[in-house]
Amino acid sequence: MSDLAGNPYASIVELSKAYRNKSISPSEVTKAQLARIDALDTKLGSYQTIYSDKALAAAKVADEAFTKDSPLGPFHGIPFALKDIYELKGQITTCGSYEMRQRISTETGTVVRRLLEAGGIAIGKTKTVECALGGWGTNEHMGTPWNPWDLEYPRVPGGSSSGSGVAVASGLAGCATGSDTGGSVRLPAAYCGLTGLKVSKACLPTDGIMPLSQTLDTPGPMTRNMPDLALMVSVMKGIDGRKIEIDIMNGDGLFNIQMNIFKGLKFGIIDQKERSRCNDDILKSYDASLNLLVDLGAELEVFTSPIAYDDMAQFNGAITMYEGYRNHRHLYDDPGKSMDQNVKKRMLVGRNITPEKHADLLSKRQDHQLIFKNAMADFDALITPTIIDPAPKLDEIDEDFTPGYFTRPFNYIDMSALALPTAYSSNDLPTSLQIIVPAGQEDYVIQMGTALESALALNKQPNLTP
């Protein structure tokens, strides 16, 4: 077996290149991945379902394609995980609900179909907060994944894409899908030390993804580095594999590291009120990253939001819970069906919001989007922390409090936001910042994230020994 196959943290871009030069095969990588899942996931609990036989069969087909020099593109033969709200025809999709543990999907959505048609190997479904409604990552009935950065004490993995975050951070998947309604890609990415992209609403289709909020839901990629994120989101967008391959080979497009990209750019940074929300480790890494951006040529200026972050988070939550209740009332309203008690409390909030109030929230949101856009007109991007403190212990969290203080506002405003690991806390937990750009500028934020990641030069993984 190639050394690369035995490296659970190998970049999927590196794997793709190795497949091309035949130094490694998709079957070797898939077998190694399945063996690692078997060895570690009993404790970590990141997967809901494993597709061992199907994954190995798909890997064998990919082997043959590379033998014949006819791969479908750079994602061919790459094992990936699906958050268990993504429909895959003929397979169980639970949406994190004990009551739906035998529910068989009758369709495959566009994003999943693109990943499969690009030759990706679905290795399994990852756990999620029930109904994808919760930022800490807990699930009362189906299990809470274990954040791999602390094997002694259970800490929050982040939610709702909790299993995807833990699987990718632990080397149990090369990459994974998540979804983001108020931070559900970015929070687990931040707590688990990953890159995660919240796209703007029009960027990716949501068909075949069990809904929480039709207004706010967005699919998104979760990876261990920026080139991998660029590859995965390109496939999710349906970009032709040959173009992606050429860009990777030539270092063009999203795979071109432009270290001069920050020269002359003006970034909005958080004010003293927002800084007071954050713990010392978060501020230390945030400030170090800002200093690095200045060294790279950026200009920084305090950005005071014209709508309070608290208010935007609250409005986003209200829209989410109103629509979430109506999407999942079949579980909430039936006293004979079990539901996570924390999720049930959030559903109750949504049940008590009237249609008139919901319509008012949506109208107010449109006004706020215009106000925010105008306030940001002189800035190229905003830079905020992603989380206010590194992953807390599970027994110390308040489920009535959202960790999405810095994430929810940008779903509400509909911007694109990238979560990027920046450093490690005093007790060795990941810290993270967000780069936020206007809707439709996903490529731009990926290019900025790629350059900043290169400058930060982090190279650390959780200490896991099968």
Answer whether residue 428 is part of any domain.
yes
pLDDT digits (tens, 9 = 90+) for 271-297: 999 999 999 999 999 999 999 999 999
Residue 422: give the domain boundaries: 257-310+361-456
Distances in whole angstroms, Cα of residue 316 to Cα of each of 7, 388, 390, 408: 40, 18, 23, 6
Picking from 232, 254, 276, the residue at the C-terminal end of a domain is 254
Backbone angles phi, psi at 302, to 5 degrees: -60, 130
User: Using CA atoms, how far apart are residues 154 and 157, in angstroms rounded to an integer?
Assistant: 9
Work out how many domains the chain is built from and give that number.
2
Please report the pLDDT score of residue 68 as a whole number.
97
Q: How confident is the model at residue 4 (pLDDT cuts 50, 70, 90)?
A: confident
97 is catalytic: no
**Length of the chain (residues):** 466
| 165 shares a domain with 124 | yes
Backbone angles phi, psi at 216, to 5 degrees: -115, -20
| 272 shares a domain with 234 | no
User: Using CA atoms, how far apart are residues 254 and 223, in angstroms rounded to an integer?
Assistant: 15
| 224 shares a domain with 121 | yes
| 41 shares a domain with 182 | yes
| 223 shares a domain with 291 | no
Supply 133's token pair: 């409604």
Cβ-contact 85, 179 below 8 angstroms: yes
Picking from 254, 281, 301, the residue at the C-terminal end of a domain is 254
Answer whether residue 45 is part of any domain.
yes
Please report the pLDDT score of residue 352 as a whole number.
98
Q: Which of 184, 289, 416, 425 is catalytic?
A: 184
| 451 shares a domain with 429 | yes
| 116 shares a domain with 137 | yes
pLDDT digits (tens, 9 = 90+) for 363-375: 999 999 999 999 9
| 77 shares a domain with 110 | yes
Answer whether residue 148 is part of any domain.
yes
| CA angle, residues 217, 219, 222, in degrees to nearest 5 | 130
User: Using CA atoms, how far apart are residues 118 and 113, in angstroms rounded to an integer?
Assistant: 8
pLDDT digits (tens, 9 = 90+) for 388-415: 999 999 999 999 999 999 999 999 999 9
User: Using CA atoms, how far apart are residues 165 and 329, in angstroms rounded to an integer?
Assistant: 28
Detail the DSSP E strand segments found in 79-194.
79-83, 121-126, 176-180
| 104 shares a domain with 233 | yes
Q: Which of 160, 162, 213, 416 is catalytic?
A: 160
Picking from 189, 222, 254, the residue at the C-terminal end of a domain is 254
Supply 225's token pair: 């580095």
User: Using CA atoms, how far apart are residues 103 and 365, in angstroms rounded to an integer?
Assistant: 35
| 49 shares a domain with 160 | yes
Please report the pLDDT score of residue 2 as a whole number.
63
Give this prediction's pTM: 0.98
Please report the pLDDT score of residue 465 as a whole number.
76
Q: How confident is the model at residue 423 (pLDDT cuts 50, 70, 90)?
A: very high
Please report the pLDDT score of residue 6 as a whole number.
77
DSSP string for 369-436: HHHHHHHTTT-SEEEEES-SSS--BGGG--TTS-S-TTTHHHHHTT-EEEEEEEEE-TTS-EEEEEEE
pLDDT of residue 354 exceeding 70, the answer is yes
pLDDT of residue 264 exceeding 70, the answer is yes
Estimate to the nearest angstrom the gap between the alpha carbon of 138 and the chain centroid.
16
Q: CATH no. for residue 244?
A: 3.90.1300.10
Cβ burial 179-200 (10 Å sphere, 16+ → b, else e): bbbbbbbbbbbbbbbbbbbbbb
Average pLDDT over residues 196-218: 99
Helix, strand counts (H, E) of the chain:
15, 11
Answer whether residue 345 is part of any domain.
no
Answer whether residue 349 is part of any domain.
no
* Partners of 104 in the β-ladder: 92
Answer whether residue 429 is part of any domain.
yes
Q: Which of 83, 125, 127, 198 is catalytic?
A: 83
Please report the pLDDT score of residue 3 as a whole number.
72
| 250 shares a domain with 376 | no
| 268 shares a domain with 200 | no
Answer whether residue 186 is part of any domain.
yes
Answer whether residue 380 is part of any domain.
yes
pLDDT of residue 1 exceeding 60, the answer is no
160 is catalytic: yes
Please give the share of the chain, as a percent, with pLDDT higher than 90.
Answer: 98
